[in-house]
Structure 1
Amino acid sequence: MRRAWTGPVLLLIAGAGAAAGPFARGSTGTGGVLLLVFVLLAVLISPLVFPRSVGAVEARRRSAVDGRPVVFWRPGCTYCMRLRIRLGRKARRLYWVDIWRDEAGAELVREVNDGNETVPTLLLAGRAHTNPDPAWVREQVASSR
């Protein structure tokens, strides 16, 4: 759990440090903008922008029932962020498994990626797709209704 928040916390600390100089010189506008940029970046790489994570076993069980894809991800992954942003509201239709919080999920990802924890890895109808194109994932989500 701590690993997921290390990056965002470091960004907040760096933002506070970067904004302190302009604030001290009386340039509150510049300091405020710097602080806001760092806060937004911290939120973007935090687990907050992803749908609630479920365990790999539960996600696979649910996927077998309704056919929705399962996405294995980890906080701070730029490719996971790209997929999440490009899916928009459709991201809530998928089951998201944080491999840093779920060892079974991490094990499955290593199994299908030659021992590497390469994410995002999408599991659809029993087949794994590593770092799939977001447009293709959107199509799959639309067809799994």
Structure 2
Amino acid sequence: MTRAWALPVLLVLSGSVVAAELVSGGNPGAAAALLPVFVILAGVHSPLMFPRPISTLEARRRSAADGRPVVFWRPGCRYCLRLRIRLGRRARQVHWVDIWRDPAGAAVVRAANDGDETVPTVVVAGRPHVNPDPAWVRAQLPPSP
């Protein structure tokens, strides 16, 4: 779990150091403008940006019951972030598995990608799709009510 928070914490600490340097250099306005940028970047790259991840076993069970895709992802992945943002509110309809929290999820991704942990890997009806177009993933979801 700490690995998932490493990048966000690093971004906040880096932003704090840069802001402190700007303040000590007599430029508090620039520091006040720059620090929120680092905090926003940390939030976007944190696990908070994604729906709560579940285990591979639970995701497979739920997917078998409702037919929705399973997305294997990891924090800090820009392609996962792109998928999450492009899915918008419909992202909550997908089953998300964080491969850094779930070793079984990492194994599924490695099996689908010749040993690489390439994410996002989306499993639909038992077939893995590596970094699919977000529009295609959206098309795999049931219609919105």
Q: TM (normalized to structure 1)?
A: 0.95
Gaps of 5+ in 2: none
* Structure 2 CA distance for partners of 1:144 and 1:118, relative to 1, 3 Å: farther
| Contact 1:68 1:144 survives alignment (8 Å) | no
| Contact 1:73 1:97 survives alignment (8 Å) | yes
CA distance in 1, matches of 2:101, 2:6: 14
CA distance in 1, matches of 2:111, 2:64: 19
CA deviations on 1:54-96 (whole Å, 9 max, x unpaired) are 0001000000000010000000001000000110100000000
Deviates more, 1:135-144 or 1:32-41: 135-144
Residue of structure 2 in register with 1:100 after alignment: 100
Gaps of 5+ in 1: none
* Structure 2 CA distance for partners of 1:143 and 1:114, relative to 1, 3 Å: farther
Q: TM (normalized to structure 2)?
A: 0.95
Task: Indicate yes or no: 2:4 matched with 1:9.
Answer: no
Q: Alpha-carbon deviation of 1:28? A: 2.3
Q: Alpha-carbon deviation of 1:141? A: 1.6
Q: Alpha-carbon deviation of 1:27? A: 2.6
| Contact 1:67 1:144 survives alignment (8 Å) | no
Q: Alpha-carbon deviation of 1:143? A: 4.9
Aligned length: 145
Percent identity, aligned pairs only, is 63
CA distance in 1, matches of 2:130, 2:31: 41
Secondary structure of 2:140's counterpart equals helix
Residue of structure 1 in register with 2:79 after alignment: 79
RMSD between superposed Cα atoms in Å: 1.4
